[in-house]
Structure 1
Amino acid sequence: MIGGGLAGLAAALDLAGRGHRVAVVERKQYPFHKVCGEYVSNEVLPYLRRLHADPAALAPAAIEQFLLSSPGGRTLTARLDLGGFGVSRYVLDDFLYRLALARGVTFYLKNTVTDVAFDAATDQHHVTLADGRVLTARVVLGTYGKRANLDRQLQRSFFAQRSPYLGVKYHLRLPGFPRDVIALHNFANGYAGISAIEEDKLCFCYLTTRQNLKNHGTIPAMEAAVLSKNPRLREILGAAEVLYPQPEVINEISFAPKQPVEQHVLMCGDAAGLITPLCGNGMAMALHGAALAAAAAHGFLAGTTARAAMEAGYARAWNAQFGSRLRVGRTVQKLFGGPVLSELVVGGLRHWPGAVQALMSRTHGQAF
């Protein structure tokens, strides 16, 4: 596994549980924060329980309601069909890491992969680490997230395209905020999500453009000038206690289409395709992708399928499960961000609850 986020950790647990030797390369040391909305659809619970990794042990927030506001502050609410839970990546990833470590998974922490070369003669990959070591593996999963230098080495087409988006995340404390609600607040050229996580904390994460930040110079100035024009966000930013001194920030967030298999590497999670945060289902997709990739890899490693069949089968399964969701997500993204259009969309959806439920069902899956 190249990358030890949700997809890499879940796939590692899955394959280790099937009796395979597994290694994970991760550039950081657990635990650590990540830019992420930290809401997970309940569709993942059966899979996590099969992995003996039930998140109930982490006391996550139970989330059942959705609230959407326009830049001017008009709101609509809806019930989440499946519901979900809120837990920080700081806690969840560390939990999965410790389970994987206890089950024999090898970790190469504070390290990165600089090259992956497939040797057709031996039907194996040679994976070069930044410290010079070379690992040999029969199957490699790319689980390294939204964007990495490895994408350039693999000559992935999206990597050459500049993306205008950046993401910002804080953990907050805000007494009185309902712990069963995930709220999405629109502002000019962006939107912010807020929902409860473990303990009494909230995750506050937003997507905006580099131009917005450039226009105002600093994140606090941008928040005061742009986000706070939405009265819901003005109230949050004015009343909340920020729980760490600097926000987590990530640049070059690309929603461009990607391929689930690149040069014999099975891509998984955000490395395979990134759903717009507006749709709020990236963590569930990462876990579901891990389940698909682990099943495909197991068939090959057990000798029941050839490599070509493994790769083709995984690509079909991935596209069948996520292709439509990503397309809908990119379409929905275009409806928000511009103040006038956002106001019209939210105003219309307030009187058309069936459309809200239809959009949710098109961007979420079923329990797996």
Structure 2
Amino acid sequence: MTSQQFDVIIIGGGLAGLTSAIDLSQNNFKVLLIEKNSFPKHKVCGEYVSNEVLPYLEYLGFNPFEFGAKRITNFELTTHNNKTIQTELPLGGFGMSRYEMDFQLYQLALKQKVTVLKDTVINVIFENDVFSVQTKSGQSFTSKITMGAFGKRSNLDTTLQRSFITKKSPYLGVKIHMSGNFPENKVALHNFKGGYCGVSKVENDHINLCYITNYEAFKRYKDIDAFQNDVIFKNLALKELFQNSNIEFDKPLTISQISFETKNPIENHMIMCGDSAGMIHPLCGNGMAMAIRSAQLASGLIIDYLQNKIDTRAALERKYAKVWNKTFSLRLKVGHSIAYLFRQDWLAPKLLVVLRRVPFLIPLIIRMTHGKPIKV
């Protein structure tokens, strides 16, 4: 059977995969995007996006505010013993659900003539400078470049024998949409024993609540409701929000085995983007922007390579690894450090006291986990 040929194959239709596909197709390359799920689909995600990526989204022809995204300017932090601090975000951001954002980017990708296939990739083989991508349905495709944008954790990670996949991760993520009263210009981070919850408004005036907790702490309880009542509601801001809002989901979305282990931005000659390349701790609330930013970095270099401005594949891989690390390594280190400190229940309230006394530290920390607006 003859394989269908493409310039670029992108595995995964999340933010990184979709924005890369749109960018590459706009530059007249033949792109195949393979995504195992149908659009639209909810995902466990904080749904706050830093404004650093707005120039790139606008360059791609996507304006999130056309689809109801909320402009976010303020930040609130509370501890498990109900100490609070508030500040303005240095750059600001917007709130938009993955359900809506992924779907609208998918529509734009189709408009830009990206070939989108609903299927699951089971193997990627690199031989003689060509990628062969095989899917669950028995199809085979070839390409000059293959990009991995398949999220936090995938069976393909196991197939590729990526080192992080062998290490168990203790984290569980839960996401709920609610309707109720919450300022649309604010993103809040509420700490509780064993975890924290991000809160922000998205389109349709829904409130997104997404929390992460240690699975060992969670499994002592018989279900999510019991955990929320006994642990999460000790934070009075969260208790009030839950009790005065209506849940819009039939049941919460959950994801387990969330890994913050170091990953390689290049794997088996594949260029990794988004969570496939590395995850910032959700405490820092900027994973969506990181995914889009990594897509912009990768797409620009891939375009140069396919236009023979970068001479060799080895040079392409070196350049991408270098720019990825330069752009994200500090963010990841700071994110890990902040998350570690806030996991110490005795320490979090003391940290808040320090931040109240030295308020300029908060914008500084936020800047260290966010990037500057993308130049396009």
Q: What TM-score range do you get, normalising by the shorter chain?
A: over 0.9
Q: Does 1:2 align with 2:11?
A: yes
CA-CA distance at 1:348 after TM superposition: 1.7
The correspondence for 1:87, drawn from 96, 106, 115, is 96
Deviations 1:24-45 (A, max 9, x none): 1111000000000000011111
Find the counterpart in structure 2 of residue 55 from structure 1: 64
Q: Does 1:125 align with 2:131?
A: yes
Provide the C-alpha distance between the structure 1 equivalents of 2:211 and 2:85, rounded to a whole number of angstroms: 19
Find the counterpart in structure 1 of residue 109 from structure 2: 100
**TM-score between the two structures when normalised by the length of structure 2:** 0.96
CA-CA distance at 1:20 after TM superposition: 0.2
Secondary structure of the corresponding residue to residue 280 of structure 2: coil
Aligned pairs (5 A) from 1:43-192: 43-109=52-118, 111-119=119-127, 121=128, 123-175=129-181, 177-192=182-197
The correspondence for 1:221, drawn from 226, 239, 250, is 226
Find the counterpart in structure 1 of residue 3 from structure 2: none
Q: Does 1:326 align with 2:335?
A: no
Q: Does 1:294 align with 2:303?
A: no
CA-CA distance at 1:337 after TM superposition: 2.6
Q: Does 1:365 align with 2:371?
A: yes
Secondary structure of the corresponding residue to residue 250 of structure 1: strand
Provide the C-alpha distance between the structure 1 equivalents of 2:116 and 2:36, rounded to a whole number of angstroms: 10
Stretch of structure 1 that moved more, 5-14 or 54-63? 54-63
- Aligned amino acid, residue 242 of structure 2: L
Secondary structure of the corresponding residue to residue 137 of structure 1: strand
Provide the C-alpha distance between the structure 2 equivalents of 1:279 and 1:4, rounded to a whole number of angstroms: 23
Provide the C-alpha distance between the structure 1 equivalents of 2:207 and 2:243, rounded to a whole number of angstroms: 15
Unmatched runs of 5 consecutive residues or more in structure 1: none
Aligned pairs (5 A) from 1:201-280: 201-280=206-285
Secondary structure of the corresponding residue to residue 140 of structure 1: strand
Secondary structure of the corresponding residue to residue 345 of structure 1: helix
CA-CA distance at 1:355 after TM superposition: 1.2
Secondary structure of the corresponding residue to residue 93 of structure 2: strand
Find the counterpart in structure 1 of residue 48 from structure 2: 39
The correspondence for 1:26, drawn from 9, 12, 35, is 35
| 1:187 and 1:337 in contact (8 A); partners too | no
Provide the C-alpha distance between the structure 2 equivalents of 1:203 and 1:229, rounded to a whole number of angstroms: 19
Provide the C-alpha distance between the structure 2 equivalents of 1:215 and 1:350, rounded to a whole number of angstroms: 34
| Equivalences, count | 364
Provide the C-alpha distance between the structure 2 equivalents of 1:269 and 1:207, rounded to a whole number of angstroms: 19
Q: Percent identity?
A: 43
- Aligned amino acid, residue 76 of structure 2: L
CA-CA distance at 1:213 after TM superposition: 2.1
Secondary structure of the corresponding residue to residue 278 of structure 2: coil
Secondary structure of the corresponding residue to residue 76 of structure 1: strand
CA-CA distance at 1:299 after TM superposition: 1.4
| 1:32 and 1:89 in contact (8 A); partners too | yes
| 1:3 and 1:142 in contact (8 A); partners too | yes
Find the counterpart in structure 1 of residue 24 from structure 2: 15
Provide the C-alpha distance between the structure 1 equivalents of 2:347 and 2:247, rounded to a whole number of angstroms: 31
Provide the C-alpha distance between the structure 2 equivalents of 1:217 and 1:124, rounded to a whole number of angstroms: 50
Secondary structure of the corresponding residue to residue 252 of structure 1: strand
Secondary structure of the corresponding residue to residue 196 of structure 2: strand
Provide the C-alpha distance between the structure 2 equivalents of 1:350 and 1:23, rounded to a whole number of angstroms: 50
Provide the C-alpha distance between the structure 1 equivalents of 2:185 and 2:46, rounded to a whole number of angstroms: 15
Secondary structure of the corresponding residue to residue 216 of structure 1: coil
CA-CA distance at 1:346 after TM superposition: 1.5
Find the counterpart in structure 1 of residue 323 from structure 2: 317
Provide the C-alpha distance between the structure 1 equivalents of 2:266 and 2:15, rounded to a whole number of angstroms: 18
Secondary structure of the corresponding residue to residue 364 of structure 1: coil
Provide the C-alpha distance between the structure 1 equivalents of 2:36 and 2:272, rounded to a whole number of angstroms: 18
Provide the C-alpha distance between the structure 2 equivalents of 1:318 and 1:163, rounded to a whole number of angstroms: 24
- Aligned amino acid, residue 355 of structure 1: L
